[in-house]
């Protein structure tokens, strides 16, 4: 939406698409929101938050009006909605500058307001903005992605399409890695982890509103909306992680002068089956499937830089996976406290984006799994 030419291309994408029922979410033109933010931030006096939100919403609201005109000029029967109207369907709380969507109220509003237009007109909705009572709110950065997935959820849409300037989710930032390639299919948890790690394709919070049976695709600007792009599969429960447990692993402990220097060679000798790795200043701990600790010691012993090795069998783990684990303060302490209250000692904890693994003695895995499933929530 940065230029008149891009608006024309976007409108043509919508006009030429084959979908029978269309709700279009638009963002602000170019750097409009940034410019409005710069203007308001330059005031010495503190502005009322309701007025602040009203000003910041102008970029998307103007885009909606302009896009509506572009569609009509192409002969498309279309209507646009504005947050100042009682017919605006995105209902939020009163946190005007970083509002949270009231999903139940929004669902009811969508069923009451939007369904009467579906199949008759293309509906244009400004992204990023919401309504609390008679006042305008804004959803925070990346809010247009949130608007799109919220509307898709509340309307039980077959598909939500996010139009971006890339071919979809890329294997790396193409500005950094020239031969980065588009990914045809990626899980929603993997997409969330990439977003939290710095990828800017999708606003992470938007992913929580995707329906389990709903298609979510990212397609390139200027391409037909029906083209494949990247499909993001699966769904995320807002608060309940997924859990997995397993027993029968072996543990190898390596004492060395510099753990990181010998880590790659140790893993190379062990081959496949490494479930988790813990590293300290002069130690490495590895948890491995399908190999006894004696065999692990034999494989690792003698590697340059290693002083000594030891090991044991009878290790298990409980895996916890939820995208919000990456930005949930204190979740490790919370889970560890739950286990300690049941007399369960943790041998090692490993983590990555959205994943947390507790390594325990085999005989404690079932109890630990039950305790965490029944008590641990996030968000």
pLDDT at 134 exceeding the cut of 80: yes
CA torsion sign, 7 to 11 to 17 to 23?
A: positive
Domain boundary among 233, 266, 292: 233
109 sits in the region (left: phi over 0; alpha: psi -120 to 50; else beta) called alpha
Averaged confidence pLDDT in the chain = 91
- Give me the residues paired with residue 305 across strands: none
pLDDT at 213 exceeding the cut of 70: yes
Same domain, 256 and 210: no
The per-residue pLDDT for range 261-304, each reduced to its tens digit, is 788 888 888 877 899 998 888 888 999 999 999 999 999 998 88
Write the DSSP string, 352-377. Answer: ETTEEEEEEEGGGHHHHHHHHHHH--
Same domain, 105 and 185: yes
Domain boundary among 233, 262, 292: 233
Count of domains observed in the chain: 2
pLDDT at 30 exceeding the cut of 70: yes
Percent helix, percent strand, percent coil in the chain, to nearest 5: 35, 25, 40
- Give me the residues paired with residue 182 across strands: 170
Q: How far apart are CA 220 and CA 143, in angstroms?
A: 19
pLDDT score at 216: 96
Higher pLDDT, 135 or 213: 135
Same domain, 137 and 210: yes
Q: How far apart are CA 233 and CA 377, in angstroms?
A: 22
The position carrying tokens 């029944």 is 374
Same domain, 45 and 95: yes
Same domain, 249 and 266: yes
Range of the domain at 305: 242-375
CA torsion sign, 354 to 329 to 340 to 237?
A: negative
- Residue 325's Cβ-side half-sphere holds a number of Cα atoms within 13 Å equal to 27
**Residue 243 pLDDT class (50, 70, 90 cuts):** very high
- For the chain, percent of residues with pLDDT exceeding 70: 99
Q: Residue 161's closest CA among 153, 152, 173?
A: 152
| CATH code of 114's domain | 3.40.1160.10
Asked if residues 315 and 287 have their Cβ atoms less than 8 Å apart, the reply is yes
Q: How far apart are CA 59 and CA 67, in angstroms?
A: 12
**Residue 259 pLDDT class (50, 70, 90 cuts):** low
- Please report how the helices 58-73 and 32-41 are oriented relative to each other, as an axis angle in degrees rounded to 10: 150
Across the range 335-349, mean pLDDT stands at 95
- If one counts every other C-beta atom within 10 angstroms of the C-beta of residue 351, the result is 15
Chain centre distance of CA 172: 16
Same domain, 192 and 325: no
pLDDT at 193 exceeding the cut of 70: yes
Higher pLDDT, 42 or 63: 63
Same domain, 181 and 330: no
Same domain, 23 and 77: yes
Same domain, 251 and 185: no
Question: What's the pTM?
Answer: 0.81
Asked if residues 128 and 138 have their Cβ atoms less than 8 Å apart, the reply is yes
Q: How far apart are CA 291 and CA 293, in angstroms?
A: 7
Domain boundary among 199, 233, 267: 233
| CATH code of 293's domain | 3.30.2130.10
3-class DSSP assignment, residue 328 = coil
Scanning 126-197, the segments in alpha helix (DSSP H) are 143-154, 188-196
Same domain, 274 and 209: no
Q: Residue 286's closest CA among 258, 315, 257?
A: 315
Q: How far apart are CA 180 and CA 198, in angstroms?
A: 16
Same domain, 112 and 198: yes
Give Cβ neighbours of residue 187 (< 8 Å, ≥ 6 apart): 232, 233, 234
Higher pLDDT, 36 or 376: 376
The position carrying tokens 């499933």 is 373
- If one counts every other C-beta atom within 10 angstroms of the C-beta of residue 202, the result is 23
Q: How far apart are CA 278 and CA 266, in angstroms?
A: 13
Q: How far apart are CA 375 and CA 379, in angstroms?
A: 13
pLDDT score at 44: 66
Same domain, 291 and 361: yes
């Amino acid at each position: 939406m940065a230029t008149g030419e891009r608006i024309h291309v976007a409108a043509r994408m919508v006009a030429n698409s084959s979908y029978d029922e269309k709700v279009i979410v638009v963002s602000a033109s170019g750097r409009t929101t940034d410019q409005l933010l710069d203007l308001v931030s330059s005031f010495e006096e503190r502005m009322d938050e309701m007025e602040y939100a009203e000003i910041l919403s102008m970029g998307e609201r103007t885009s909606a009006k302009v896009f509506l005109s572009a569609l009509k000029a192409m002969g498309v029967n279309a209507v646009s909605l504005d947050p100042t109207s009682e017919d605006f369907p995105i209902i939020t709380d009163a946190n005007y500058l970083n509002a949270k969507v009231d999903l139940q109220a929004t669902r009811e509003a969508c069923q009451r307001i939007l369904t009467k237009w579906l199949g008759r007109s293309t509906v244009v909705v400004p992204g990023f903005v919401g309504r609390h009572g008679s006042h305008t709110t804004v959803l925070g950065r990346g809010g247009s992605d949130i608007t799109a997935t919220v509307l898709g959820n509340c309307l039980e849409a077959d598909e939500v399409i996010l139009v971006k300037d890339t071919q979809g989710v890329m294997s790396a930032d193409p500005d950094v890695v020239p031969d980065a390639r588009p990914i045809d299919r990626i899980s929603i948890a993997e997409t969330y982890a990439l977003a939290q790690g710095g990828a800017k394709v999708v606003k992470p919070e938007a992913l929580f509103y995707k329906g389990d049976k709903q298609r979510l695709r990212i397609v390139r600007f200027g391409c037909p909306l029906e083209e494949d792009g990247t499909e993001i599969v699966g769904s995320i429960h807002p608060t309940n992680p997924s859990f997995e447990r397993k027993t029968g692993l072996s543990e190898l402990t390596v004492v060395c002068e510099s753990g990181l220097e010998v880590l790659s060679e140790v893993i190379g000798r062990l081959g496949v089956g490494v479930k988790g790795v813990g590293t300290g200043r002069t130690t490495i701990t590895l948890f491995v499937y399908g190999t006894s600790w004696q065999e692990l010691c034999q494989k690792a012993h003698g590697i340059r830089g290693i002083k000594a090795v030891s090991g044991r069998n009878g290790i298990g783990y409980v895996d916890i996976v939820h995208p919000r684990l990456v930005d949930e303060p204190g979740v490790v302490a919370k889970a560890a406290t739950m286990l300690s209250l049941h007399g369960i000692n943790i041998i090692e904890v490993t983590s990555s984006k959205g994943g947390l693994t507790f390594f325990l003695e085999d005989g404690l895995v079932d109890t630990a799994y039950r305790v965490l499933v029944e008590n641990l929530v996030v968000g």
